[in-house]
Amino acid sequence: MRMRSTALIGGALLAAASLCLAQAAGKAAKPKGKAAASKAAPAPRMAGDPETAKLTTLEGTWHCTGRQLASPMGPEHATEATVTAKMDLGGHWLVSHYRETKTAANAMPMEGDEYWTYDGAEKKWDRVAIDSMGGFSSGDAKSWVGDTITWSAEGMMGGKKSKFRDTFTKKSDHELVYKGQMESNGKWVDAWETTCRK
């Protein structure tokens, strides 16, 4: 009997303590006066690297025409696409959206997104690309050479690991040429090329 009453007393004490803690938490959660009116200030946002800011010239809507060259992915065919690009995510990344148009020559148009940024610590450019065929790649580039940047990347295409080399050449603020290569049997093979204008 004593053990039972001790347990009951202990349970009552625990219940009372829980009630007190809950009330205290409720009071702490509902401050009054000036404390209630003030909100936590948002964390300051870090500025993007000055090198990344140079990508602003690529912002805008681009209209692209080109061709997908013959590969294990399919026969050669003409491509038409629209690309929208803008500095995003706090100004740290150039984000672009590539959307092909369905045509008689291109019955299975591809969509893809890319993210470019500058790594100030490593002194190099980084790029991530994903597409609607389940492909993806990530890679880097040492620097721009004049108006040309060449990316080396690894990823997946057609369910197989692949290596890629992509070259972007800025002809002017309104024209950009993009050529892509894939490694096949230890050799670089041209895979696609397109010219974009805005």
pLDDT tens per residue, range 66-90 = 999 987 667 899 999 999 999 999 9
State the pTM of this model.
0.73
Task: Show the domain range for 159.
Answer: 50-197
Q: Is 101 a member of any domain? A: yes
Q: Is 91 a member of any domain? A: yes
Q: Is 25 a member of any domain? A: no
pLDDT of residue 158: 80
Q: pLDDT tens, 86-120?
A: 999 999 999 999 999 999 999 999 999 999 999 99
161: three-class secondary structure by DSSP = strand
DSSP characters for 80-146? Answer: EEEEEEEEETTTTEEEEEEEEPP-SS-SS--EEEEEEEEETTTTEEEEEEEETTS-EEEEEES--BT
Q: What is the number of structural domains in the chain? A: 1
Q: pLDDT tens, 153-176?
A: 999 988 889 999 999 999 999 999
- CATH code for the domain of 58: 2.40.128.20
Please answer whether residues 62 and 168 qualify as being in contact, where contact means their C-beta atoms are separated by less than 8 angstroms. Answer: no
pLDDT of residue 80: 97
Mean pLDDT of the chain: 82
